Protein backbone atom coordinates (compact mmCIF):
# COMPACT_ATOMS: atom_id res chain seq x y z
CA UNK A 1 0.00 0.00 0.00
CA UNK A 2 2.84 2.35 0.91
CA UNK A 3 4.56 1.60 -2.41
CA UNK A 4 1.34 2.41 -4.34
CA UNK A 5 1.00 5.69 -2.44
CA UNK A 6 4.58 6.71 -3.35
CA UNK A 7 3.97 5.91 -7.02
CA UNK A 8 0.78 8.00 -7.07
CA UNK A 9 2.59 10.85 -5.31
CA UNK A 10 5.34 10.80 -7.93
CA UNK A 11 2.76 11.05 -10.75
CA UNK A 12 1.08 14.01 -9.02
CA UNK A 13 4.42 15.84 -8.69
CA UNK A 14 5.33 15.22 -12.34
CA UNK A 15 1.91 16.44 -13.49
CA UNK A 16 2.17 19.57 -11.30
CA UNK A 17 5.61 20.49 -12.68
CA UNK A 18 4.39 19.96 -16.24
CA UNK A 19 1.32 22.10 -15.62
CA UNK A 20 3.40 24.95 -14.19
CA UNK A 21 5.85 24.83 -17.08
CA UNK A 22 3.02 24.89 -19.60
CA UNK A 23 0.81 27.55 -18.01
CA UNK A 24 -1.57 29.14 -20.51
CA UNK A 25 -0.37 26.65 -23.12
CA UNK A 26 3.15 28.12 -23.28
CA UNK A 27 6.36 26.71 -21.88
CA UNK A 28 8.59 29.43 -20.39
CA UNK A 29 11.87 29.48 -22.29
CA UNK A 30 13.48 32.67 -21.02
CA UNK A 31 13.02 36.39 -21.64
CA UNK A 32 13.87 36.22 -25.34
CA UNK A 33 11.65 33.27 -26.35
CA UNK A 34 9.62 35.50 -28.69
CA UNK A 35 12.83 36.45 -30.50
CA UNK A 36 14.42 33.05 -31.06
CA UNK A 37 16.16 33.30 -27.67
CA UNK A 38 18.34 36.19 -28.86
CA UNK A 39 18.00 39.66 -27.34
CA UNK A 40 17.29 42.05 -30.25
CA UNK A 41 19.92 44.74 -30.83
CA UNK A 42 19.73 47.60 -33.32
CA UNK A 43 22.46 49.95 -34.57
CA UNK A 44 21.45 53.62 -34.80
CA UNK A 45 23.87 56.44 -35.58
CA UNK A 46 26.90 54.40 -34.56
CA UNK A 47 25.49 53.17 -31.26
CA UNK A 48 23.93 49.87 -30.22
CA UNK A 49 20.49 49.85 -28.60
CA UNK A 50 19.14 46.79 -26.78
CA UNK A 51 15.53 45.61 -26.66
CA UNK A 52 13.80 46.91 -23.55
CA UNK A 53 10.04 46.43 -23.86
CA UNK A 54 7.02 46.18 -26.15
CA UNK A 55 3.94 48.43 -26.36
CA UNK A 56 0.88 46.96 -28.07
CA UNK A 57 -0.55 50.42 -28.77
CA UNK A 58 2.32 51.48 -31.02
CA UNK A 59 3.52 54.22 -28.67
CA UNK A 60 6.02 56.69 -30.11
CA UNK A 61 6.97 59.49 -27.68
CA UNK A 62 6.51 63.14 -28.56
CA UNK A 63 9.66 64.57 -30.11
CA UNK A 64 10.66 61.33 -31.85
CA UNK A 65 10.68 61.26 -35.65
CA UNK A 66 11.13 58.59 -38.29
CA UNK A 67 14.76 58.22 -39.41
CA UNK A 68 14.80 54.94 -41.37
CA UNK A 69 13.72 51.31 -41.62
CA UNK A 70 15.18 48.21 -40.02
CA UNK A 71 17.53 45.88 -41.89
CA UNK A 72 17.31 42.36 -40.46
CA UNK A 73 20.70 40.57 -40.09
CA UNK A 74 19.64 37.44 -38.17
CA UNK A 75 22.06 36.45 -35.42
CA UNK A 76 24.91 38.59 -36.82
CA UNK A 77 26.07 41.66 -34.92
CA UNK A 78 24.62 44.89 -36.36
CA UNK A 79 27.36 46.99 -37.94
CA UNK A 80 25.50 49.49 -40.12
CA UNK A 81 22.75 51.98 -39.46
CA UNK A 82 19.34 50.35 -38.75
CA UNK A 83 20.69 46.80 -38.88
CA UNK A 84 18.86 44.70 -36.30
CA UNK A 85 19.96 41.43 -34.73
CA UNK A 86 17.33 38.93 -33.58
CA UNK A 87 16.49 35.24 -33.74
CA UNK A 88 13.11 36.21 -35.22
CA UNK A 89 12.76 38.72 -38.04
CA UNK A 90 11.86 42.23 -36.89
CA UNK A 91 10.91 44.82 -39.47
CA UNK A 92 9.52 48.30 -39.17
CA UNK A 93 10.22 52.01 -39.10
CA UNK A 94 12.88 53.40 -36.74
CA UNK A 95 12.18 56.50 -34.64
CA UNK A 96 14.69 58.58 -32.69
CA UNK A 97 14.80 61.86 -30.80
CA UNK A 98 17.78 64.17 -30.40
CA UNK A 99 21.15 63.61 -28.71
CA UNK A 100 19.55 63.90 -25.26
CA UNK A 101 17.65 60.64 -25.78
CA UNK A 102 18.75 57.28 -24.41
CA UNK A 103 16.28 55.25 -26.45
CA UNK A 104 15.03 54.54 -29.96
CA UNK A 105 11.75 52.95 -31.06
CA UNK A 106 10.71 50.56 -33.81
CA UNK A 107 7.11 50.69 -35.06
CA UNK A 108 6.72 47.02 -35.93
CA UNK A 109 5.53 45.45 -39.18
CA UNK A 110 6.82 42.06 -38.04
CA UNK A 111 6.83 39.63 -36.32
CA UNK A 112 3.12 39.09 -36.81
CA UNK A 113 2.25 39.13 -33.11
CA UNK A 114 3.84 42.58 -32.73
CA UNK A 115 2.45 44.22 -35.89
CA UNK A 116 1.21 47.74 -35.16
CA UNK A 117 2.96 47.83 -31.80
CA UNK A 118 6.26 49.44 -30.92
CA UNK A 119 9.51 48.24 -29.40
CA UNK A 120 11.64 50.41 -27.13
CA UNK A 121 15.40 49.91 -27.39
CA UNK A 122 17.76 51.37 -24.77
CA UNK A 123 21.36 52.54 -25.13
CA UNK A 124 24.29 50.36 -24.06
CA UNK A 125 24.90 52.39 -20.91
CA UNK A 126 21.52 51.28 -19.59
CA UNK A 127 22.30 47.60 -20.13
CA UNK A 128 24.71 46.25 -17.53
CA UNK A 129 24.23 42.64 -18.64
CA UNK A 130 23.21 42.27 -22.31
CA UNK A 131 21.73 38.80 -21.78
CA UNK A 132 19.69 39.80 -18.75
CA UNK A 133 16.06 40.77 -19.06
CA UNK A 134 15.30 44.45 -18.72
CA UNK A 135 17.72 47.32 -18.15
CA UNK A 136 18.90 49.81 -15.57
CA UNK A 137 18.05 53.47 -15.29
CA UNK A 138 20.76 56.12 -15.07
CA UNK A 139 21.73 58.90 -12.68
CA UNK A 140 24.17 61.72 -13.49
CA UNK A 141 26.53 63.30 -10.96
CA UNK A 142 29.97 64.89 -11.07
CA UNK A 143 30.55 64.11 -14.72
CA UNK A 144 29.64 60.42 -14.31
CA UNK A 145 26.66 58.30 -15.26
CA UNK A 146 25.65 55.84 -12.55
CA UNK A 147 23.44 52.75 -12.77
CA UNK A 148 20.31 53.24 -10.69
CA UNK A 149 18.24 50.14 -10.02
CA UNK A 150 16.13 49.19 -7.02
CA UNK A 151 16.00 45.53 -8.08
CA UNK A 152 19.62 44.42 -7.60
CA UNK A 153 19.21 42.87 -4.17
CA UNK A 154 21.04 43.05 -0.85
CA UNK A 155 24.49 43.70 -2.33
CA UNK A 156 23.23 47.09 -3.53
CA UNK A 157 21.17 48.18 -0.53
CA UNK A 158 21.87 48.93 3.12
CA UNK A 159 20.03 50.30 6.12
CA UNK A 160 23.14 52.14 7.31
CA UNK A 161 24.87 54.75 5.19
CA UNK A 162 28.60 53.93 4.87
CA UNK A 163 31.02 56.18 6.71
CA UNK A 164 32.19 59.27 4.83
CA UNK A 165 29.00 59.82 2.82
CA UNK A 166 27.18 63.15 3.04
CA UNK A 167 24.03 64.58 1.51
CA UNK A 168 24.75 66.25 -1.84
CA UNK A 169 21.32 67.02 -3.32
CA UNK A 170 18.06 65.53 -4.53
CA UNK A 171 17.07 63.53 -7.59
CA UNK A 172 15.40 65.27 -10.48
CA UNK A 173 13.36 62.98 -12.71
CA UNK A 174 13.58 63.59 -16.44
CA UNK A 175 11.71 61.60 -19.08
CA UNK A 176 12.43 57.89 -19.18
CA UNK A 177 13.66 58.24 -22.78
CA UNK A 178 16.19 60.95 -21.95
CA UNK A 179 19.85 60.60 -21.06
CA UNK A 180 20.75 62.39 -17.80
CA UNK A 181 23.33 65.14 -18.40
CA UNK A 182 23.19 67.37 -15.33
CA UNK A 183 23.85 66.67 -11.66
CA UNK A 184 21.11 64.65 -9.94
CA UNK A 185 19.14 64.05 -13.14
CA UNK A 186 17.77 60.51 -13.52
CA UNK A 187 15.56 58.69 -16.04
CA UNK A 188 14.37 56.31 -13.31
CA UNK A 189 10.64 56.79 -12.78
CA UNK A 190 10.00 54.98 -9.51
CA UNK A 191 11.49 53.05 -6.62
CA UNK A 192 10.85 49.46 -5.56
CA UNK A 193 7.42 50.39 -4.16
CA UNK A 194 6.23 52.31 -7.22
CA UNK A 195 6.85 55.74 -5.68
CA UNK A 196 8.32 58.60 -7.69
CA UNK A 197 12.06 59.08 -7.14
CA UNK A 198 11.79 62.80 -7.79
CA UNK A 199 13.23 64.61 -4.76
CA UNK A 200 14.90 61.54 -3.20
CA UNK A 201 18.12 62.41 -1.39
CA UNK A 202 21.52 61.59 -2.92
CA UNK A 203 24.62 60.88 -0.80
CA UNK A 204 28.24 61.07 -1.96
CA UNK A 205 31.70 60.54 -0.56
CA UNK A 206 33.62 63.66 -1.70
CA UNK A 207 36.87 61.69 -1.65
CA UNK A 208 35.60 58.79 -3.75
CA UNK A 209 32.91 59.12 -6.41
CA UNK A 210 33.13 55.51 -7.59
CA UNK A 211 29.75 54.90 -5.96
CA UNK A 212 26.93 57.05 -4.59
CA UNK A 213 23.74 56.27 -2.64
CA UNK A 214 20.06 57.15 -3.01
CA UNK A 215 17.77 57.10 0.04
CA UNK A 216 14.23 55.69 -0.23
CA UNK A 217 11.64 54.45 2.22
CA UNK A 218 10.81 50.75 2.49
CA UNK A 219 7.49 49.72 3.97
CA UNK A 220 6.36 46.79 6.11
CA UNK A 221 3.39 46.02 8.35
CA UNK A 222 4.78 47.94 11.34
CA UNK A 223 5.89 51.06 9.51
CA UNK A 224 8.73 52.17 7.28
CA UNK A 225 12.49 52.53 7.34
CA UNK A 226 15.16 54.18 5.16
CA UNK A 227 17.20 52.11 2.72
CA UNK A 228 20.23 53.41 0.87
CA UNK A 229 20.61 52.06 -2.67
CA UNK A 230 24.13 51.91 -4.07
CA UNK A 231 24.75 53.27 -7.57
CA UNK A 232 27.95 52.39 -9.41
CA UNK A 233 29.48 54.10 -12.43
CA UNK A 234 28.09 52.77 -15.72
CA UNK A 235 30.92 51.38 -17.83
> Where in the chain are the domains?
33-126, 137-232
Residue 134 has pLDDT above 70, yes or no: no
221 Cβ contact list (under 8 Å, min separation 6): none
230 Cβ contact list (under 8 Å, min separation 6): 155, 156, 157, 158, 211, 212, 213
Between the ranges 3-7, 128-132, 155-159, where is the mean pLDDT highest?
A: 155-159
Pair 165, 153: CB distance under 8 Å: no
What confidence category does residue 232 fall into, taking pLDDT thresholds of 50, 70 and 90?
very high
Residue 127 has pLDDT above 90, yes or no: no
168 Cβ contact list (under 8 Å, min separation 6): 141, 184, 202, 203, 204, 212
H or E segment and range at residue 16: helix 2-21
Pair 42, 48: CB distance under 8 Å: yes
pLDDT digits (tens, 9 = 90+) for 197-209: 999 999 999 999 9
Residue 12 has pLDDT above 60, yes or no: no
What confidence category does residue 152 fall into, taking pLDDT thresholds of 50, 70 and 90?
confident
**pTM greater than the 0.85 cutoff:** no
The pLDDT value given to residue 19: 37
Instruction: Indicate the SS3 state at residue 24.
Output: helix
Residue 24 has pLDDT above 90, yes or no: no
What confidence category does residue 125 fall into, taking pLDDT thresholds of 50, 70 and 90?
confident
Instruction: Indicate the SS3 state at residue 113.
Output: helix
Q: How many CA atoms lie within 13 A of 108 on its CB side?
A: 25
Residue 234 has pLDDT above 90, yes or no: no
Q: For residue 207, is the peptide bond before it cis, meaning its omega torsion is within 30 degrees of 0? A: no
Of 180 and 9, more confident: 180
Amino acid sequence: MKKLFLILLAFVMIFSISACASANGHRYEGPWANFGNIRPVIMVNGGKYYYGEYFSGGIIPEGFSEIGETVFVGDSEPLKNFEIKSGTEISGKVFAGDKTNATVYVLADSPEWAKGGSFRFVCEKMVTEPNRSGYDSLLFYGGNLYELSFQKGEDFSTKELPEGFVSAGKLKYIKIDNLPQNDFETNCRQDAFGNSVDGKEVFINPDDLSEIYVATLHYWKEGSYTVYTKCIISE
